[in-house]
């Protein structure tokens, strides 16, 4: 019987958000692969290259090949693929890293390692170093290759190294993209030193986004996808800080160069503006935190008497567990428990005795089910258990629960037996029933079992 772990920590990524972002990752990888293949075709198939825009040959053929390998590596390393594909993904990642390192060595020592003749260029006429991409591109591909090698890291040091290289890759790509934009907008005049093609910048940006999304699954970047306060604040602040930093430099250049404002006044204007923006962000964050703190205070997930989840907590975590089961295409079961004779116990022995029976039922549930199963008191004398298990497994668990209650009832001195009625239902691997529908069906099954038991007692 497979285990599952309800997501209790708000710092962990939200699986629902990860599902949506997986579409973004696939689109980015597919886009890079298409651009790389078209670029290779433009280089080596002359008739096809003539029909494409002139800029398609700005990306070197070796760059396109390295980016194609990168797309393959990132796609193969996804957890949805078999283990052998994850292992195979290391090969193109290593090839990209070695290729980028070789080109950088050529630039550093002014020698040739044969990279320029790595691919046949008979169809290319007049190309200047068609096999050697720029040092900026080489640095980006080197960091990308190392990040892909470490993308599946799970050990603490390897995870830290993967995050560091992801940060470095993000920094370099931001420098290259912003430099290209500033040059294209002629903010500081037009320069011919920009040797990175727009296709390369686009592909590197898409690959960097995929790496960051992959690192958000188990690295420090996971805070951006968290369900808690930290994750929400990070998602709000990250785009603002990213945009404000570049707007500040654009504003400085515009004020000094275009409007001819003295540099000290331009600095004063930008510093004052940045201060006001920071103060506004602080106020927004403070209001946001206060609101979430109020929500947290209102959100009580535990039943104080039994220690199980209350109705709110049960629905929250059981729905999360059900989404995980549906995502993994695994069966999901719900057990409904109704404690018998609670009113008689309260009337005869007092509410403290009734509370003791409720607490004892909770103890049996905790002893019978796994810690990873979601157990809750969802009504006065009603309990429910949600677990990722088959119909046979929930049946066996229900029988264990009844057997445990029978052992308790065999103890001497009990005035009222610990008795309850059970009903359970299972949603199979491809079931689309909601948690509420499963609880209703389990409740109906419980009442059918209770009615059948009364008929049997009446018949006997």
> pLDDT tens, 50-69?
666 655 667 888 888 999 99
Same domain, 284 and 412: no
How far is residue 3 from each of residues 88, 92, 448, measured CA to CA in Å?
Answer: 28, 34, 30
Q: Which of 211, 226, 241 is the last residue of a domain?
A: 226
Beta-ladder partners of 57: none
Q: 415: which residues sit within 8 A by CB, 6+ positions away?
A: 348, 349
CATH number (domain holding residue 377): 3.30.70.270
Based on the fold, state whether residues 371 and 392 are members of the same structural domain. Answer: yes
Q: Is 256 helix (H, G, I), strand (E, B) or coil?
A: helix
In three state form, how does the secondary structure of 398-416 look? HHHHHHHHHHHHCCCCCCC
Residue 160 included in any domain? yes
Up-side HSE of residue 24: CA atoms within 13 Å toward CB? Answer: 15
Q: How many CB atoms lie within 10 A of CB 197?
A: 22
Same-domain status, 198 and 283: no
Is the pLDDT confidence value at 81 over 80?
A: no
CA–CA dist 437, 426 (Å, integer):
11
Query: Are 117 and 219 in the same domain?
Result: yes
Inter-residue contact 205 to 177 (CB < 8 Å): yes
Number of structural domains (the chain) is: 3
pTM of the model: 0.56
Q: Which runs of consecutive H residues, i.e. helices, occur in 6-57?
A: 15-44, 46-51
Is it the case that residue 432 has pLDDT exceeding 90? no
Are 326 and 202 contained in the same domain?
no
> Which of 244, 267, 299 marks a domain boundary?
299
Which of 402, 330, 397 is closest to 361 using CA atoms? 402
Which of 299, 332, 348 terminates a domain? The answer is 299
Same domain for 284 and 315, yes or no, is no
Same domain, yes or no: 295 and 266: yes
Pairing mode of beta strands 374-377, 420-427: unpaired
Q: What is the mean pLDDT of residues 402-412?
A: 87
Based on the fold, state whether residues 320 and 435 are members of the same structural domain. yes
Give yes or no for residue 86 having a pLDDT over 50. Answer: yes
225-253 pLDDT per residue, tens: 766 666 777 777 777 777 777 777 677 66
Mean residue pLDDT of the chain comes to: 80
Q: Is residue 249 assigned to a domain?
A: yes
Tell me, yes or no, whether 56 and 187 share the same domain. Answer: yes
Both 346 and 278 in a single domain?
no
Q: List, in order, residues 6 or more apart from 361 with CB less than 8 Å away.
A: 306, 337, 339, 383, 418, 420
* Range(s) of the domain holding residue 51: 15-226
Same domain, 414 and 323: yes
Which residue has better confidence, 186 or 180? 180
The reply to whether 349 and 207 lie within a common domain is no
């Amino acid at each position: 019987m497979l285990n599952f772990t309800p997501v209790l920590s708000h710092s962990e990524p939200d699986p629902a958000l990860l599902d949506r972002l997986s579409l973004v990752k696939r689109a980015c990888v597919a886009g890079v692969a298409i651009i790389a293949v078209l670029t290779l075709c433009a280089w080596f198939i002359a008739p096809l290259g003539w029909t494409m825009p002139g800029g398609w040959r700005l990306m070197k053929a070796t760059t396109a090949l390295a980016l194609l390998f990168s797309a393959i590596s990132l796609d193969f390393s996804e957890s949805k693929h078999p283990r052998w594909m994850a292992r195979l993904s290391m090969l193109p990642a290593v090839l990209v890293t070695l290729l980028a390192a070789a080109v950088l060595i050529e630039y550093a020592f002014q020698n040739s390692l044969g990279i320029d003749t790595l691919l046949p260029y008979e169809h290319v006429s007049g190309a200047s170093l068609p096999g050697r991409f720029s040092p900026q591109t080489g640095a980006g591909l080197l960091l990308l290759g190392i990040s892909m090698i470490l993308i599946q890291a799970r050990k603490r040091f390897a995870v830290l190294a993967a995050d560091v290289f992801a940060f470095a890759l993000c920094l370099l790509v931001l420098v290259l993209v912003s430099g290209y934009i500033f040059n294209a907008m002629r903010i500081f005049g037009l320069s011919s030193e920009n040797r990175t093609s727009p296709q390369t910048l686009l592909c590197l940006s898409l690959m960097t986004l995929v790496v960051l999304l992959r690192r958000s699954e188990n690295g420090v970047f996971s805070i951006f996808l968290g369900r808690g306060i930290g994750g929400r604040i990070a998602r709000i602040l990250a785009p603002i800080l990213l945009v404000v930093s570049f707007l500040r430099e654009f504003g400085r250049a515009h004020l000094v160069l275009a409007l001819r404002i003295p540099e000290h006044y331009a600095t004063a204007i930008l510093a004052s503006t940045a201060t006001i923006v920071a103060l506004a962000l602080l106020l927004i964050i403070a209001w946001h935190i206060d609101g979430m703190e109020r929500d947290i205070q209102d959100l009580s997930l535990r039943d104080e008497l039994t220690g199980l989840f209350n109705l709110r907590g049960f629905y929250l975590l059981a729905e999360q567990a059900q989404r995980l089961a549906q995502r993994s295409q695994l069966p999901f079961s719900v057990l409904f428990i109704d404690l018998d004779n609670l009113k008689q116990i309260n009337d005869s022995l007092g509410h403290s005795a009734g509370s003791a029976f409720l607490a004892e039922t909770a103890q049996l549930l905790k002893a019978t089910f796994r810690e990873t199963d979601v157990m809750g008191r969802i009504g006065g004398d009603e309990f429910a258990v949600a677990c990722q298990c088959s119909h046979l497994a929930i049946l066996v668990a229900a029988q264990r629960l009844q057997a445990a209650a029978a052992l308790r009832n065999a103890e001497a001195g009990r005035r009222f037996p610990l008795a309850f009625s059970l009903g359970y239902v299972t949603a199979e691997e491809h079931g689309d029933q909601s948690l509420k529908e499963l609880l209703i069906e389990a409740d109906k099954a419980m009442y059918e079992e209770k009615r059948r038991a009364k008929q049997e007692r009446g018949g006997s």
